[in-house]
Each structure stands twice: as structure tokens, then as C-alpha cells.
Amino acid sequence: MTNTETKPRRAKGDTRLRLITAAEKLFGEKGIHGVTLKDINVAAGQRNESALHYHFGAKPALVEAILILRTRDIDLGRMERVEAMLASGQEKDLNSILKAMFLPMMELLGSESGVRFIRFLAQVLNDPDFDLPDMALRGSLPGVSKANGLLVAALGDITPEIVIQRQRFMVEMVVSSLAIWSRHHDSVNETAARELFIANLLDSIAGFLTAKVSAETLELLKKSIRKKEKK
């Protein structure tokens, strides 16, 4: 038996997953532009410096691959919660909608791999090359689409343009808050503190989503719309 026969071959999928895992960790720690392709190859144990380029081409495709891999399971959990909520007749209850939409992601604070992904998301959010709120809200994930549709319906009394902007605030607030909290706490082991933080964050989101729109904001909105119509 030759040496090549005694050594198990690594599947291409294994290499791809190692690269994704290494990139996610490094991006979360140093930012997307603070990490080189060589850094990722080394962290993933790849001797071939072209491995990452072969599998992903460039950083944007790698970021997208991480998002696709990690959000798929999260959205399955979200869809289960949405369907359970619909079955119980709570589709008009804002708090139930927000729990269905965000708890699958917030509960990631309970695992090391989940914390790693949240910190990665925060770096994507802060990177000018990516529009995370738009990617999250306008993407193809069925759980997000269903929950977001229910959210918009629940906020039906608020001017649509304001709702759209508040949706972006909502994504920014959730991702930033989770990442910041994880850096100041042992989120995996501090169960009681984590549960309190999540409950309070959900209350806060509900509060600002339903906050009264001031006369000043409405007037500024009208000016913005008139300005766009003149272009």
C-alpha cells in the first residue's frame, strides 16, 4: 500500500468549511479589511496560498458564503416560530412577531460558535462595502420575509417611509447590541444575565418601533419626498 493510499483525502467541502470558519473568526476579531487572504489560509491550515481564491475568489464572496451557511439554520428556527405563532393566532401581536423574528439569532449568545457569528455580523454591519440591513430584510430567507411581512402589518398605522427606516434601525440595534453585550459578558455561561438582556432588548425594540412620530419628523419627511420628486 502506497503512502497516498494510507493518508485519508480531505474533501473539498472540508477545506471550504475550514476556510469559512477561520474567516468568520478573524473577521469578527479584526474586521473584514483587517484580515488578509493569507491570514485566512494560514488559520485554516492551508499550505496552498491559492486555496481561498480557488473556493471563493475574493472577500465579498467569502463574506456571502459565511452569511449563507450560518443564516440558513437560523432561518429554519425562525420559520418554525412564525408558523407556531400563526397557529396560535398571535400574528398581530408585535411582541410575538419580534420573538419569532429575533430569538433564533439572539439565542446564539448561548454558544461560542454563535457568539463568533454575531461578532462577524457586527463587522459586516460596520463595513461600508456591505448593506447588512438591506441584505437581511430584502433577502431570500423565507422566515425573514414572513416575519417581516407580519411586522409591517402590525405597524400599519405608521407612515410607510418611517417604518422602512425603523426596520433598518431595528437590524442595526439588534446586531450591535448583541455583539457589544457579548464582549462585556461571558454570554455562554451567564444564563440569567443573558436571558434578562434579551428580554429587555426585545422590549426596547418594540418601544422604538411603535414610538409616536413627531410633527418635526413628519415635516422633514414631506420635505424629503418633495425634494426627490423634483429630481
Q: 139 or 164: which carries more pLDDT confidence?
A: 164
Whether the CB-CB separation of 154 and 97 falls below 8 Å is answered with yes
Q: 133 or 11: which carries more pLDDT confidence?
A: 133
Whether the CB-CB separation of 189 and 213 falls below 8 Å is answered with no
| Band (6; pLDDT cuts 50, 70, 90) | very low
Q: Is 8's pLDDT higher than 70?
A: no
Query: Taking all residues of the chain, what is their mean pLDDT, rounded to a whole number?
Result: 90
Whether the CB-CB separation of 168 and 209 falls below 8 Å is answered with no
| Band (70; pLDDT cuts 50, 70, 90) | very high
pLDDT of 54 reads: 85
What is the percent of the chain where pLDDT is above 70?
A: 94
- Quote the CA–CA distance of 92 and 157 in Å, as a whole number: 13
pTM: 0.87
- Secondary structure (DSSP) of 98-130: HHHHHHHHHGGGGSHHHHHHHHHHHHHHT-TT-
The residue type found at 45 is: G
Mean pLDDT of 174-190: 95
Handedness of CA 170, 176, 177, 178 (dihedral sign): positive
pLDDT of 155 reads: 95
Rg of the Cα atoms in the chain: 21
Mean pLDDT of 163-192: 95
Q: Is 10's pLDDT higher than 70?
A: no
